Amino acid sequence: MASVNLQYVVKETSTNLKRNVFITIAAVLVVLVSMYLVGAVFVASFAVDRALTLQTKKVEVAVFLKRDVTPEERNSIQRDLIAMPEVATVSYESKQQAYETFKKLFRDEPDIVENTTPDALPESFRVKLKDPNQYAVVRDRLEGRAGIDQIQDERKFLSRLLAVVRDVRVLGIVMVVLLTIAAGVLIATTIRMALFARRREIAIMKLVGATNWFIRVPFMLEGVIQGMIGAVLAMALLVATRPFYTNLLKSFKFLNLTVTYTEILANSMWVLVFGILIGAIGSLLGLRRFLDV
Amino acid sequence: MIRTVNVSKIYRGGIPALNDISIDVLKGEFVFLVGPSGSGKSTLIRLLLREESPSSGEIFVAGKNINQLASWKVPMLRRNIGCVFQDFKLLPSKTVFENVGFALEVIGRPREFISKAVPEVLDLVGLGDKIDRLPDQLSGGEQQRVSIARAFVNRPQILLADEPTGNLDPSTSVDIMKLLDRINRTGTTVVMATHDHAIVDAMRRRVIELESGTVLRDQERGVYGYAREE
């Protein structure tokens, strides 16, 4: 009996898909676009989160010294820094080392590098804290000391960056939600049309005592297949367009945002789950009123 | 087999379509439901199939209160009731065999069963030689036979017929009635709603006459009525 049902379901589903070829294509394409964006948001979130975590670990407090700092002042600051219980490591960056870093950072803009001399850059102590949140304690203790020009917490830049990332992510999620709704509604519409095309069959099926699930399953499967095809295509497209967006991401020099093909695939598995869910929910939406007994 | 207890059906904001109907149909009976259009015959049939629920009162089919039936059990109720309509309700793209087989297929009967049961029932209704025809290659009477075959192929306990001869000429109608009578003789309870005086008068079976939703008359071996206008 199960085999008869399976055969029936396959037959009915494929008839329905063929009958509404154009609207089926439209539904699949909308699923494709929305699932591509869902996947992009997932992959991007993964890459950004990883890069930021890495960066947070590298974050330091920079203690810039005055131009006219004396060696005694410098030594005493270093001694005190090392003695502080909150401090993990202290390293000294000379004007020359600062210049090297500067050169690396601006390697694409030779004009700036040429017009800068090592002497124009300040020497500094690079301080790593055991707990980055204790920045204020360290700063208060050092503030106003002779020889210190400025104390900077690099986390500030990072938190600004984090705020931007958060905004972009919210925007992305809003778009994804809207497109997902559109995809679901379109699938519901194709199911509605398939139901309408078969209303006589359905009326007879109900009359002779077919169960509602028996009537529903081919239609649900139709929606699920549309969602699944769209999602699989979206995954393929995500993988295929990797060269394009890794190029784009390279322009963010200070964060390493590149992702491997495997990472793309792993993160876009959710796309498949989403696609199937949209198909199922969309078709249930389309079936909702029609099958009330 | 069928019992209604003080059944009323009031459609939204309107006059009652059925008003306090209590009837009792025994197993194996043949009952005519007569009365003018709008008297409530079709409403009663829809209630028996639980396509609708009564506003008040109770309906028992085969001993079960069908108003209290969980909605997922409604298909099981319908498998026990065959239905025939004035407009046949055949699928035009399916052959005679497929139309009858469809009713078995969608309730999950195995294919071996279908390929045996369908020709059998088509022989019974006299269409054994037209098994591969499409509905529009058949006469109206033949189409109604297909629809009766579909209703009966599952051997239901009850056969409901809503104006089955409404679209047929008198001599074809007689053939359909002979067929329904034969089905009734196998022990199937038959309830038939009709306008057709000649048939009711010729068959001399129980007649329940409805008017404006109430039972006007319930008579063993009755006739359609006296000088009643259509």
pLDDT digits (tens, 9 = 90+) for B143-196: 999 999 999 999 999 999 999 999 899 999 999 999 999 999 999 999 999 988
Each residue's pLDDT, cut to its tens digit, for chain A (293 residues) gives 444 567 777 887 787 777 778 888 888 998 999 899 888 888 888 888 888 777 777 777 888 888 888 888 888 888 888 888 888 888 888 888 888 888 877 777 778 888 888 888 888 888 888 877 778 888 888 887 888 888 887 777 777 777 887 888 888 888 888 888 988 898 898 888 888 888 888 889 999 999 888 888 888 998 899 999 999 999 999 989 888 877 777 666 666 677 888 888 888 888 999 999 999 999 998 888 665 54
User: In whole angstroms, what is the distance from residue B215 CA to residue B42 CA?
Assistant: 14
B22 pLDDT above the threshold of 70: yes
Q: What is the pLDDT of residue B124?
A: 92
Which residues of chain A lie closer than 8 angstroms to B105, CB-CB? 4, 8
Would you give the end-to-end CA distance of chain A in angstroms? Answer: 25
CB contact under 8 A, A211 and B71: no
User: In whole angstroms, what is the distance from residue B167 CA to residue B85 CA?
Assistant: 10
Beta-ladder partners of B81:
B158
User: In whole angstroms, what is the distance from residue A51 CA to residue A133 CA?
Assistant: 20
Band of pLDDT at residue B229, cut at 50, 70 and 90: very low
Out of A208, A211, A293, name the one closest to residue B103 (CB). A208
CA distance, residue B99 to nearest chain A CA (Å): 10
Return the number of other C-beta atoms located less than 10 Å from residue B63's C-beta. 7
CB contact under 8 A, B72 and A201: no
A17: tokens are: 């898909």
CA nearest neighbour of A209 among B41, B215, B154, B195: B154
Out of B76, B105, B150, name the one closest to residue A8 (CB). B105
A60-153 classified as CATH 3.30.70.3040: yes
Is the Cα dihedral A179, A183, A184, A188 positive or negative? positive
Out of A1, A208, A293, name the one closest to residue B106 (CB). A208
The β-bridge relationship of strands B64-65 and B81-85 is: unpaired
Q: Are A105 and A139 in contact (CB under 8 A)?
A: no
CB contact under 8 A, B107 and A209: yes
* pTM: predicted TM-score of the whole model, two decimal places: 0.70
Q: What is the pLDDT of residue A16?
A: 75
Q: What is the pLDDT of residue A19?
A: 72
Q: Any idea where the domains of chain A sit in the sequence?
A: 2-55+159-290, 60-153
A interface with B, Cβ–Cβ < 8 A, is 1, 4-5, 8, 200-201, 203-212, 214-215, 293
Helix (H, G, I), strand (E, B) or coil at A91: strand
Work out how many CB contacts closer than 8 A connect A with B: 60
The β-bridge relationship of strands B30-34 and B206-211 is: parallel
Q: What is the pLDDT of residue A288?
A: 81
Q: Please list, in sequence order, all residues whose beta carbon lies within 8 angstroms of the beta carbon of residue A149, skipping any fewer than 6 positions away.
A: A64, A65, A66, A67, A122
B227 pLDDT above the threshold of 50: no
CB contact under 8 A, A208 and B74: no
Band of pLDDT at residue B206, cut at 50, 70 and 90: very high
- Tell me which DSSP letter residue A122 carries: P
Q: Are A198 and A18 in contact (CB under 8 A)?
A: no
Q: What is the pLDDT of residue B224?
A: 78
